Structure 1
Amino acid sequence: MNWEQIPLGPLQTNCYIVADDKKNCLIVDPGEEGKKLINRLEQRKLKPQAVLLTHAHFDHIGAVDDIRNKYNIPVYIHINEKNWLMDPSLNGSQFFMMGQIKAKQADQLITSEGEMTIGDFTFVVFETPGHSPGSVSFYFKNDGFVVAGDALFQGSIGRTDLPGGNHDVLINSIHKKLLVLPEETIVLSGHGDTTTIENEMDSNPFLNGF
C-alpha cells in the first residue's frame, strides 16, 4: 500500500491517493482542480474504487463530482454531514467569497466507527469530531498511517469556529482516537506537511497539559 499527497485548490488542501500493487486506489478529499487530479490518476494508470471524505468543508469537496462522474464510483461521508455537500451554508463556501461550492449527495453514509472494506482495501474509521460534527479519520493499521483530515496538523489542530465546530470536542477526539495510535504512525493531515503521532505528543502546543 502506498499513498501520495496532492495539494489542490487555493487553500492547498491535501488530497490523498491510497493505492495498492494492483493499481486500485481510494481518493481521499478531492478538494479542487479535478482535471489535475484526473491527469495524475491517468498518468499512474490507477483505478479509483471510491471517494472518501474526512469531512465536507468546501475546500475538501470541490472535485468530488469530477471524480465520481469520471470513474462512476461511490462517495462516502459521515452521516452527521449528509446534507453538507449540497449546502454552501453548511460546507462553508458561502462565508469565504469563493463561490458557492456544491456536490451531489454522497452515495454511502458512514454511520459508525469500525473496520471498513472497499474492494481490496481494509481500514478503520474513527469518528474524530470537533473541527466539524462529522469529521472522521481513516486508519490504515498495517501500513502505519492515518488520514486525519483537519483534526490534527503538524504543530496545530483544526479550527473550530465554523458551523458545528467545538474546541473541547476536538481536543477529546485527538486524545482519545489519534494519540492512542502507535507513536510511529504517520499522520496525513488536510493541510501542510505530514507528521507522526510521536511528534505531536511531544511538541504540539495545543495538546500539552491536557
Structure 2
Amino acid sequence: MKYQIIPVTPFQQNCSLVWCEQTLKAAVIDPGGNIDRILDAVREHGLTLEKILLTHGHIDHVGGAAKLAEQQRLPIIGPHVADKMWLEQLPIQSQKFGFPASAAFEPNQYLQDGDEVTVGNSVLKVFHCPGHTPGHVVFWSEADKLAFVGDVLFRGSIGRTDFPGSSYQALIDSISHKLWPLGNDTRFVPGHGPMSTFAEERQSNPFVADQLLQ
C-alpha cells in the first residue's frame, strides 16, 4: 500500500490518501477539508477513489467528507457508531471552531472492532480505540506495518480527553491493549504532526512509555 499525507484545515490535520499499487484504487482517510487539494493528489497519481474512511467524528477529520462523497459518489465508512453524536453535532462543531458550515450526515457503514476494509487488493484491519472519542477507530495495514491512528496517539503525546464522551483511562487502555500488540516496528500516521513508530513512543512518550505503564 502506498500513501500520501495531505495536511488540511487550519488545524493541519493529516488527511491520508492511500492506494493499492496493483489496482491504483484509493481511499481517503479523514478528509477534514480542502477537497480540491485532495483531488489534485488523486489526479497526480492517476488513482480511482473507492471510498472515504473516517477515524472519528471531529470536524477537522470529517468536515469535507459529505461534500467529497457527494461530488465523487463515494461511500463513507466509519467511524464506530459510538461517534454518531459527533456527526450529528457537525453544525455546532463548525460554528464553535470557525470551520465552514458543515451539515450532519450518516455514514454508509459504521465500523466495529475486528472489521476489515479493502482498498483495491490491500486490506486495512479496524481497531475500536475509544478514549479521545467514544467511537474512534484505527486502521492498520498488517502487510505494511502501517497504522492510521487519528487522534489516539501522536509523536510524543496522546489525544485530548477533555471532550464530552472522552476518557483518559480508556485512551491509555486503547493504546496499550490495542496498538502496542501490533508490533514495535509499526509506523503510524497521527491525526496531526509527524509520523513515528510504536517503538519510539513506548520508549519516550511522556504519557504511555513502557516505564510509566508498568
- Whether the 8 Å contact between 1:74 and 1:106 is mirrored in structure 2 is yes
- Whether the 8 Å contact between 2:128 and 2:137 is mirrored in structure 1 is yes
- Whether the 8 Å contact between 2:31 and 2:61 is mirrored in structure 1 is yes
Matched, 1:11 2:32: no
- Whether the 8 Å contact between 1:82 and 1:109 is mirrored in structure 2 is no
- Whether the 8 Å contact between 2:56 and 2:135 is mirrored in structure 1 is yes
Which residue of structure 1 aligns with residue 41 of structure 2? 40
CA distance in 2, matches of 1:160, 1:80: 15
Which residue of structure 1 aligns with residue 51 of structure 2? 50
Provide the TM-score with structure 2 as the length reference.
0.91
Report the CA distance shift for 1:67/1:100 in structure 2 as closer, same or farther (over 3 A): closer
Counterpart amino acid of residue 12 in structure 1: Q
CA distance in 2, matches of 1:171, 1:17: 28
The alignment's C-alpha RMSD in Å is 1.7
CA distance in 1, matches of 2:151, 2:102: 18
SS of 2:143's equivalent? helix
Which residue of structure 2 aligns with residue 136 of structure 1? 137
Aligned residues: 209
SS of 1:55's equivalent? coil
Which residue of structure 1 aligns with residue 88 of structure 2? 86
Counterpart amino acid of residue 63 in structure 1: G
Q: Could you tell which deviates more after superposition, 72-81 or 142-151?
A: 72-81
Counterpart amino acid of residue 167 in structure 1: Y
Counterpart amino acid of residue 134 in structure 2: P
CA distance in 2, matches of 1:168, 1:89: 29
CA distance in 2, matches of 1:51, 1:80: 18
Shift of 1:62: 1.5
- Whether the 8 Å contact between 1:132 and 1:165 is mirrored in structure 2 is yes
Shift of 1:95: 3.1
Which residue of structure 2 aligns with residue 67 of structure 1? 68
- Whether the 8 Å contact between 2:112 and 2:128 is mirrored in structure 1 is no
Provide the TM-score with structure 1 as the length reference.
0.92
* % identical equivalent positions: 35
Matched, 1:154 2:155: yes
Shift of 1:181: 1.6
Stretches of 4+ moved more than 6 A in 1? none
SS of 1:69's equivalent? helix
Deviation string, structure 1 residues 125-162 (Cα, Å, up to 9, x no partner): 00111000000000100011000000000000000111
SS of 1:188's equivalent? strand
CA distance in 2, matches of 1:2, 1:165: 32
- Whether the 8 Å contact between 2:149 and 2:188 is mirrored in structure 1 is yes
CA distance in 2, matches of 1:82, 1:89: 13
SS of 2:15's equivalent? strand
CA distance in 2, matches of 1:72, 1:120: 21
Counterpart amino acid of residue 14 in structure 1: N
Which residue of structure 2 aligns with residue 186 of structure 1? 187
SS of 1:10's equivalent? coil
Deviation string, structure 1 residues 84-112 (Cα, Å, up to 9, x no partner): 3232377x434324354334211111133
